[in-house]
Structure 1
Amino acid sequence: MLPVSSELTRSTPVVEYVIGKRQYRSLLEVTSTSTIRGVKKKIEDKIDKPMRYKFYVKILLTWSFRQLTWTGLQENRSLDDYGVRNGDTVRAILTRTSVTRELALDESSPWRKDVSEISDRDTGDWPRRLLHIPTMKSLTWRPGNRYGGKEGPEYEAPEYAALSYTWGKYRDETAEPISIGETEWPVPRIEPTHFTVHDFRRVINRIRRYSGTDFLWLDVACVNQGPDSDEGRLEVGRQAAIFRRAEKTYIWFTTLSEKDWPKSADPDYLQQNIGLFEKILNDPWFGSVWTLQEAYIPAYSYVLDRAGSKLPEISGCGDGTSFKTFTRTCTWLNHYSDTPRVSAARDVVPLLRKSGILAIDSGNPFILYGAAARRRATNKNDRIYGIQQIFGFQLGNTAPNKQTQQYDVNELEIQFTQELLKNYPVGSQMHVFAGSPNFGRGWHANEFSELPDKLPARFIDIFEEILRLDIRRSQNQDQQNRRGLSHLQCLCKFEPRQTESYILGHFSGQMCAFPDLLEAVPESSKVELLVALDYHKDSEVLADLESSVKYLEENTRRYISLYTHDRRRVVSNPGGFAFGKRLKNRHKCRLAVLKLGVHTRSRERSHDVSTFIGLMLMQESGYWRRLGFCLWRVWHPVEDYDKIQWTEEEGYFT
């Protein structure tokens, strides 16, 4: 691969252009107002060749690990018109030209290596195999991003689609085999009640028609299914990159027909047809851990019913494919569940949470582990392997040079949570526990983790922006935002440490007494506070916290907001009294807030606004117990209050 040009400032969009199919790459700096025609001209000037070939663009929104693809772009439209913002990457792909033949490859390029010497670094984000639909053969990757069988033609960097479906729980060695040529492993046989060979072939052929491509990535044809296959384990560790590169992705619900699909997101329609959502969410696809990752990574996926028919978008949900409009409707149902107009939605809320559909729609990757743990995996290790690539991790035996080692789910969870804490110290703590984790498991996301999904409107945008910026910060990406220059700074240090009996989270940073913060906020019109508390069963401290914050919320209105897993059980304290003093006097333990980070949004015509993120902790028996997290938005430094004293501290939290 030829070297990429020097690093750019990333204060503007960046164009990565790929000429032909040999991965000749370079970078160009543009502006969000640049037109598509202008981008073409810049590339033309760079390579000193006329534009005589197909040109299309992929917008890589790296903050959410997702990819948007547009074809047939209008040349007079700007990048901004297509949603490109500062810091985003635009991949311009140019094909059907003789230019590639004139670009010399360096002798040390991996594209000159023999096939047997190719490593994952050489293949990049290309799959090791692709299914050629016309011949139903599994074709192997070769240098130059070519795919070809032992006999017959080679295909240079073909466009391909990807299919997300589930079959692992439905093996049946007596069933009719699925015939796929040139695989080095026996293709799994599937119970015909789940899908038949005829169903399988029909879906594949319809994807070919819908996508306009002859190539498809699906696991039984493209991942070595041998139990001891190193190649298979490595390919499993690259699944996210494969789905990102796919031109189109499809989701196959094997129990549905078109009549089972909702037509509208209108509340009255939803009230009358809530049973459709119960049937959809009980489809086996929602029981697989792997499908969480496959659904989350692509920005848009199309839903297919059992017959392979492409299901339509749900009206009233804005633009999007069938799956995007479905996830959006499910999120609305969750919100509607508190309203009498769609009271029937309450019946599906447990299914919405269990299925992980709310996590997928939220765009928040940090709660996917909780969703994965609630799905029943055939192999418990898949709870980690099935979602790790969303974060760019390759753990356990999917990591290079680790294929022969064996790991249990506890070892994998430790690896996963350690990487989360190290790479995403702010975002990975912005969740609440809907259950009580065991000692030593509260310092990281786990099966009880959920997103605060009914936040006050004034906190929703800032909450989502903090999560996006933490991802960008961890990847050393520019943090420019469409509303202005936004920046997220981490203010503490986290690391997992082995104690005598447990691995615990160790922190160091600034702390203050939470009662002091709680008392200070109502005294100023320049501060807003959100408190999100974890679930408690018999905790007197958390019960007092809930009722105190709720009372202040009801009496200060705009300044304090409370989120708990179940608001209906919170009773506010009567009367007006100094809550901070009451909490201090009634509970001898320390209630504190650790500053995780600060989000700053610069505005040209007004004062900067800072939002601090804090981890709420309670000290007991030499350790700190997590109680939840909080956000406080300020128009001047909250540290200026005389009542609040910030001190440098360190310790372990569980």
Structure 2
Amino acid sequence: MESPRIFTTEMFFQNQDEKLWPRRLLHIPSMTSVEREGEHTYMGIAKPEYNILSYTWGRYEVPDGLALHFKNVDWKIPSIDPSRFTVEDFQRTLLAVSRDTPFIWLDVACIDQKNYAIKMDEIGRQAGIFYNAKDAFIWLHGSSALRLREMFDRFFLLVARLDGEAVEEIMFDEHTTITNNWEPDDGDSDIFVGENSFLPHCIRDRDWVTAMHTCLSELISDVWFSSLWTLQEASLRPDAWFLSKDGSIVPRQGYAEVALMNLVHGMGAIERYLSKALYMNKPESDDSLDEVLPSLKVLESIVEQVGLGGWENPSTLYGSARFRTCIDPLDRIYGIMQIFGLRLGAASDPSRSYTLDDLEHQLATSINEVSPMMGQLFVHTEPVSFGKCWRISQNSRIRTALRSESLMTLNLSKICLDEDERPVFAGSACHFRKIAQQWTIAEEGNEGWQYWGVDGAIHLIALDENEFWYSRIPEHLRRIETENFALNQSLSELLSEVAGDELEVLRLGQLLDPEDEDGESPTTPGSVGILARRVILHGETFWQRLGVCVWAMDEGRQGAGDIWRTVEYGLA
């Protein structure tokens, strides 16, 4: 049996060489694009230190105009609309990026823009290129250093209020500064949600919500936050430092400079509390959130579009990618595949042509082969064609209760393609009615798992939107975001009634508590399965995915383990 392990994107690199050095590096003192000699030598220097720059320019290329000149390149360096950034701005930034090393990696100078095979090969090496860089920088060329500092300071001040740590300095006069501290939120001032969860008081403060909405909207107005390629670059180097329009590092109040990870942590905190406020149970007598709920939903949509979180789950990442801008639709895959160490489509075989559907199929196949748990922890928010239900899509998302950035997983199944290139699930399965009965018994015995922050949570059913969902499931049971046993029990009973023996649960594996240090024999594992319906098409039997379910109960209880049998099912 596979050993439990924290799921990270590094799992995708296990059989690959992470030491993929770039084909070229830019030598700043001579402005020369230097070709690699051997595996990692440039200008006679083996494994030189180099820095790397993440920025966006593709949308602002103009046919004529000034452009930087690089030696030893035979492709055209793009001219950029000077209203976005000038040659002088670019030069100052490159000097800042190379502050402690003569070498940097820069896409326009280091990727052959006219040779498609070479270009795609280098795109398939982005993880190694970013991995090997000494320092990484993000150029927000749409804003000055002063404006960025003001925005970041305001953002971090607002985030700090979530933990009751905010400090505001008010200038009383030119000689006097007053420090205003917000009191930490505690049990007397928090809004309780569920039994073990709470919300900080500021989450229902309309002024705080409005201020955060304004701050985030202003901050992410920079084009870097809307580029698809920068989504991948951000996930590969979350330690990158922000640079302003003039190439200077952005300072932060009380700190030397602002790193991307600071922003990621702040966005994560906002996302967690928004999830609690919007989707978890609250006492019926507490209507304090109702007034700000519409504003919180708008704020949630902004956080989702930014996508600076959930990098350890492919479904969340691909879902965020749909909000990003790209020139070629295929970049929806090419622009994120290296986060998972994958070389798909033309990056693996440039002699063929590919459609977005081809690339989605390759992405889903690769992810499921590495971890069927992560390959299936999603729901479709729009109907997909029969035969593609098992694959993630741009409209996939992950339920709030399962958006942990570090899930310890234990895979108990496999999902691979057979000789006819069709997906096959190999593992254990049981009739839905039988496991639904076990969930009821577990609830009566007060079993459960506090992983979701709610005592007594037994199971969670997350359904895909499809024809079954529309025709068989009433509105109030379609999107159960909470770990509410009563609603899930009602849905279980309905599914048992309308689907009968056609419905089974295909067990993927277990979610374990990341705080369980040994991870060898957890006492309260959470199990994950595919909810699948038997469909006979042209005389063949397939199992159409209808969603996923997660449950927590004592697997050693009498009868709980007897319901499973070993199967091999073709997925649809």
Which band: TM-score by shorter chain? 0.7 to 0.9
Q: Deviations over 1:339-383 (max 9, x none)?
A: 7598644333223223322334xx324432222234232111111
Say which is worse superposed, 330-339 or 232-241, in terms of deviation. Answer: 330-339
1:222 aligns with 2:169: no
**Counterpart code for 2:21:** W
How many angstroms apart in 2 are the aligned matches of 1:132 and 1:596? 50
Deviations along 1:569-617, whole A, 9 cap, x unmatched? xxx96xxxxx755543344463321111235668599964433221122
Residue in 2 that maps onto 1:493: 414
The counterpart of 2:271, out of the listed 329, 334, 340, is 334
Query: What secondary structure is seen at the aligned counterpart in 2 of 1:379?
Result: coil
Q: Which moved more, 1:490-499 or 1:320-329?
A: 490-499
Scaled by the length of structure 2, what TM-score is found?
A: 0.73
Change (3 A) 1:334 1:320: farther
**Contact 2:54 / 2:136 at 8 angstroms: preserved in 1?**
yes
Aligned match of 2:550: 631
Q: What is the identity, as a one-letter code, of the residue corresponding to 1:509? A: G
Taking a change above 3 Å as real, the CA distance of residues 627 and 314 of structure 1, as seen in their structure-2 partners, is farther
Q: 1:253 to 1:523 in 2, by over 3 A?
A: same
Greater relative CO (CA pairs within 8 A, separation 6+): 2
Contact 2:19 2:132 survives alignment (8 Å): no
Corresponding residue of 2:124: 237
The residue aligned with 2:477 is 546
Distance 1:497 1:141, change over 3 A: same
Distance in 2 between the 1:551 and 1:359 partners?
A: 19
SS in 2 for 1:444: coil
| 1:417 counterpart SS class | helix
Q: Verify the 8 A CA contact 1:131 1:138 in the aligned structure 2.
A: yes
1:428 aligns with 2:428: no
Change (3 A) 1:603 1:386: closer
The amino acid across from 2:10 in the alignment is F
Spell out, residue by residue over 1:501-559, the C-alpha distance to the aligned partner (whole angstroms, 9 max, x if none).
Answer: xx75332332223343233221333344341413537525444893798999355xxxx
- Letter of the 1:286 partner, please give it: F
C-alpha displacement of 1:431: 1.8
Give the aligned partner of residue 612 of structure 1. Answer: 527
Give the match for residue 383 of structure 1: 332
Aligned residue for 1:648?
566
Alpha-carbon displacement from aligned partner over 1:100-127 (angstroms, at most 9, x marks no partner): xxxxxxxxxxxxxxxxxxxx98x94221
Moved more, 525-534 or 247-256: 525-534
- Give the match for residue 507 of structure 1: 425
Choose the corresponding residue for 2:460, options 531, 536, 539: 531
Aligned pairs (5 A) from 1:469-484:
469=409
Contact 1:278 1:348 in 2 (8 A): no
CA distance in 2, matches of 1:231, 1:604: 44
- 1:371-410 matches, within 5 Å, as 371-399=320-348, 402-410=349-357
- Three-state SS of the structure 1 residue aligned to 2:74 is coil
1:451 aligned residue: 398
Structure 1 match to 2:438 = 520
- In the alignment, the residues of structure 2 paired with residue 233 and residue 254 of structure 1 have an alpha-carbon distance, to the nearest angstrom, of 27
1:641–1:331 CA distance, 2 compared to 1 (3 A): same
Q: Note if contact 1:314-1:326 (Cα within 8 Å) is conserved in structure 2.
A: no
Q: Is the 8 A contact 1:195 1:254 kept in 2?
A: yes
CA distance in 2, matches of 1:603, 1:434: 37
In structure 2, the partner of 1:349 is 300
Contact map agreement 1:161 1:217 (CA 8 A) in 2? yes
Q: Secondary structure at the match of 1:376?
A: coil
Name the structure 2 match of 1:46: none
Distance in structure 1 (CA, Å) of the matches to 2:60 and 2:220: 18
CA distance in 2, matches of 1:640, 1:548: 30
Is 1:65 the counterpart of 2:14 in the alignment?
no
1:270 and 1:244, CA in 2 relative to 1: closer, same or farther beyond 3 A?
Answer: farther
- C-alpha distance in 1 between matches for 2:302 and 2:213: 12
Q: Which residue does 2:245 correspond to in 1?
A: 306
Change (3 A) 1:602 1:245: closer
SS in structure 1 of the partner of residue 85 of structure 2: coil
How far apart in 2 are the matches of 1:215 and 1:639? 65
Alpha carbons of structure 1 residues 534 and 279: separation in structure 2 relative to 1, 3 Å: farther
Q: Which residue of 1 aligns with 2:196?
A: none
1: distance between equivalents of 2:551 and 2:37?
A: 54
The TM-score normalised by the length of structure 1 is: 0.65
Unaligned runs of 5+ in 1: 1-10, 12-60, 67-87, 89-119, 149-153, 470-487, 556-560, 563-571, 574-578
CA contact (8 A) 1:131 1:221 kept: yes
Task: Describe how 1:112-191 pairs up with structure 2 within 5 A.
Answer: 124-143=19-38, 145-148=40-43, 154-191=44-81
Task: Report if the CA contact (8 A) 2:231-2:336 is conserved.
Answer: yes
**Structure 2 vs 1, CA of residues 395 and 551 (structure 1 numbering), >3 Å: closer, same or farther?**
closer
Q: Which residue in 1 is equivalent to 2:133?
A: 246
Structure 2 portions without partners, runs of 5+? 162-201, 203-207, 279-288, 450-457
Structure-2 residue corresponding to 1:590: 502
CA distance in 2 between partners of 1:203 and 1:353 (Å): 30
The aligned amino acid for 1:637 is: G
Higher mean C-alpha deviation, range 228-237 or range 441-450: 228-237
Task: Name the aligned partner's letter for residue 391 of structure 1.
Answer: F
Task: State the Cα deviation string for residues 600-648 of structure 1 (Å, max 9, x = none).
Answer: 6685999644332211223345543323222323444367338x62233
Amino acid at match of 2:430: C
CA contact (8 A) 1:160 1:248 kept: yes
1-side partners of 2:319 and 2:521: how far apart? 40
Which position in structure 1 is the counterpart of 2:310? 359
Match of 1:300, as an amino acid? D
Matches within 5 A, 1:218-297: 218-226=106-114, 228-257=115-144, 258-260=146-148, 261-263=151-153, 264=156, 265-267=159-161, 271-297=210-236
Distance (Å, rounded) in 1 between the aligned partners of 2:459 and 2:494:
20
Aligned-residue offset at 1:428? 1.0
Q: Matches of 1:203 and 1:433 in 2, distance apart?
A: 42
Q: 1:352 to 1:604 in 2, by over 3 A?
A: closer
Distance 2:479 2:463 in 1: 15
Structure 1 position 249, deviation (Å): 1.0
Asked if structure 2 preserves the Cα contact closer than 8 Å seen for 1:170 and 1:194, the reply is yes
Question: 1:542·1:627 contact (CA, 8 Å) conserved in 2?
Answer: no
Cα drift, residue 162 of structure 1? 0.8
Q: Structure 1 543/603 Cα, relative in aligned 2: closer, same or farther at 3 Å?
A: farther
User: In structure 1, what residue type is equivalent to 2:351?
Assistant: T
Q: Distance in 2 between matches of 1:638 and 1:252?
A: 57
* Letter matched to residue 617 of structure 1: A
Query: Alignment partner of 1:357: what SS?
Result: coil
Change (3 A) 1:536 1:408: closer
Instruction: Give 2:407's aligned residue.
Output: 465
Gap change, CA 1:193 and 1:182, over 3 Å in 2: same
Amino acid of the residue matched to residue 533 of structure 1?
A: A
What is the distance in 2 between the residues matched to 1:595 and 1:434?
A: 22
Tell me the residue number matched to 2:452. Answer: none
How far is the alpha carbon of 1:159 from its aligned partner?
0.9
Residue 310 and residue 514 in structure 1: after superposition, are their counterparts in 2 closer, same or farther (change >3 A)? farther
The sequence identity of aligned pairs, in percent, is 26
